[in-house]
């Protein structure tokens, strides 16, 4: 009996001194692996006897056995790493082109000045207004909060027409900037689109901006050959704008693809929310 107890004691010592110490060691090891490989770990690491930390090279099950990346993906129901999306969907402003600060904002201010409205949006204010999807909606929300200009009409219906006329003029001024190519494509956009089209991935642009402005960006900056292969969903093509997922749902339906097989490239919180709500994967890029 004494011999058996001694064997059990030695076995326990080799495992780290019992369950409490083993869990502590598992957490420490997992944290170390995550710190060096840049992985994300579940919050309840210490509560589990097996913690998984994944990297592009494979998957190491801390406190358990080593498993290959393919086996982990298969068990989680994820597609193989080499699979391509059925469609690649881009937002326009801030994704294809850095248009907001030195494009749309400038055009809004020029429109306000032409109409002598006494309104000017600085960079900080415009950054806050970008939380509202759509130019007409943005102006309406701003005037509702700060007060309508003296030259604005008084009834709701007339104000809708007033906003529409402002937005039309703003779009004309913005398109003039695009025609002059004063707002170039962001680095890497053209290459990414070419690679996607070359591999048979459908490409579309889904934006809350005016359809004419988006079409001008695509045709002028990407060229007519690429533009012919890119589907555009923009402006008032859907009744509810981002963060509502309607535009991405429409895109998937029109392109004939499942939302779960699409990848969206966005630059805003409302865009991310729209993509996620539609069931699509989303990459967020930082815009200027």
The reported pTM is: 0.64
* Residues contacting residue 229 through CB under 8 Å, at least 6 positions apart: 197, 203
* pLDDT computed for residue 267 by the predictor: 94
The pLDDT mean for the chain works out to 79
Domain ranges of the chain: 2-76, 87-97+186-284, 100-179
* pLDDT computed for residue 82 by the predictor: 56
* pLDDT computed for residue 287 by the predictor: 76
Using 50, 70 and 90 to split pLDDT, how confident is the model at 60?
very low
Check whether domain 87-97+186-284 has CATH 3.40.50.1000, yes or no: yes
67-76, 172-181, 194-203, 218-227: segment of lowest average pLDDT: 67-76
Question: Which residues have a catalytic role annotated?
Answer: 91, 93
> How confident is the model over 176-207, as pLDDT tens digits?
998 888 888 999 999 999 999 999 999 999 99
CATH topology match: 87-97+186-284 vs 100-179: no
Q: How many residues does the chain have?
A: 288
Alpha-carbon distance of 171 to 174, in angstroms, equals 5
Residue 220 burial (CB count, 10 A): 16
pLDDT for 34 beyond 90: no
Q: Over range 8-37, report the average pLDDT.
A: 37
pLDDT for 224 beyond 90: yes
Class of CATH domain 100-179: mainly alpha
Is pLDDT larger for residue 13 or for residue 202? 202
* pLDDT computed for residue 78 by the predictor: 52
> How confident is the model over 257-266, as pLDDT tens digits?
999 999 999 9
> How confident is the model over 93-115, as pLDDT tens digits?
999 999 988 899 999 999 999 99
Is pLDDT larger for residue 226 or for residue 11? 226
The encoded tokens of residue 228 equal 């012919």
């Amino acid at each position: 009996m004494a011999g058996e107890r001694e064997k059990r004691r030695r076995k326990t010592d080799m495992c780290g001194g019992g369950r409490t110490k083993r869990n502590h060691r598992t957490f420490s090891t997992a944290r170390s692996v995550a710190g060096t490989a840049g992985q994300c770990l579940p919050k309840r690491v210490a509560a589990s006897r097996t913690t998984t930390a994944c990297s592009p090279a494979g998957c190491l099950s801390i406190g358990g056995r080593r498993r290959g990346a393919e086996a982990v993906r298969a068990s989680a129901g994820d597609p193989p790493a080499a699979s391509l999306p059925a469609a690649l969907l881009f937002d326009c402003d801030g994704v294809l082109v850095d248009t907001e600060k030195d494009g749309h904002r400038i055009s809004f201010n020029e429109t306000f000045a032409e109409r002598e409205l006494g309104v000017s949006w600085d960079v900080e204010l415009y950054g806050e207004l970008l939380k509202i999807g759509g130019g007409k909606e943005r102006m309406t929300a701003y005037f509702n909060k700060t007060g309508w200009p003296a030259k604005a009409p008084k009834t709701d219906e007339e104000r809708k027409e007033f906003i529409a006329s402002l937005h039309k003029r703003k779009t004309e001024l913005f398109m003039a900037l695009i025609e002059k190519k004063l707002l170039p494509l962001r680095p890497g956009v053209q290459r990414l689109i070419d690679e996607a089209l070359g591999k048979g991935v459908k490409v579309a642009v889904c934006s809350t901006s005016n359809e004419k402005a988006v079409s001008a960006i695509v045709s002028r900056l990407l060229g007519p050959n690429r533009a012919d292969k890119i589907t555009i969903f923009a402006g008032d093509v859907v009744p509810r704008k981002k963060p509502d997922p309607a535009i991405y749902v429409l895109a998937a339906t029109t392109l004939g693809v499942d939302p779960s097989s699409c990848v969206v490239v966005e630059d805003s919180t409302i865009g991310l929310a729209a993509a996620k709500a539609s069931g699509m994967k989303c990459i967020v890029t930082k815009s200027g």
